[in-house]
């Protein structure tokens, strides 16, 4: 899921991906868009997935890539 953020940083481009999945709890289908700023939006307004973000302040990240932050 971090692909647009990592690739966007490496390439210096704005990127996004579309993820088609389903809820692990109720099996309801869901589609999410995740952009290179780690913004997540869902096509269905009732969908509210839990998104895990590593303990890195992405907005203040000075390293050239996420690997250097760890």
Contact 11, 4 (CB under 8 A): no
Total of domains in the chain: 1
Domain with 19, as residue range(s), is 1-46
Task: Give the distance, in angstroms, between the CA of residue 1 and the centroid of all CA atoms in the same chain.
Answer: 5
- Read off the pLDDT of residues 39-70 as tens digits, 9 standing for 90 and up: 888 887 777 776 666 677 778 888 887 777 76
What pLDDT, on a 0 to 100 scale, did the predictor assign at position 53?
61
Map tokens 């589609």 to a residue.
31
| In-domain check, residue 20 | yes
Q: What is the pTM of this model?
A: 0.56
- Read off the pLDDT of residues 5-48 as tens digits, 9 standing for 90 and up: 778 888 888 888 898 988 888 888 889 888 888 788 888 777 77
């Amino acid at each position: 899921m971090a692909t647009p953020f990592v690739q966007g940083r490496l390439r210096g481009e704005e990127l996004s991906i579309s993820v088609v999945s389903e809820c692990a709890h109720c099996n309801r289908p869901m589609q999410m868009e995740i952009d290179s700023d780690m913004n997540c939006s869902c096509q269905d307004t009732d969908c509210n997935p839990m998104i895990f973000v590593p303990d890195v302040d992405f907005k203040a990240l000075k390293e050239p890539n996420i690997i250097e932050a760890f």
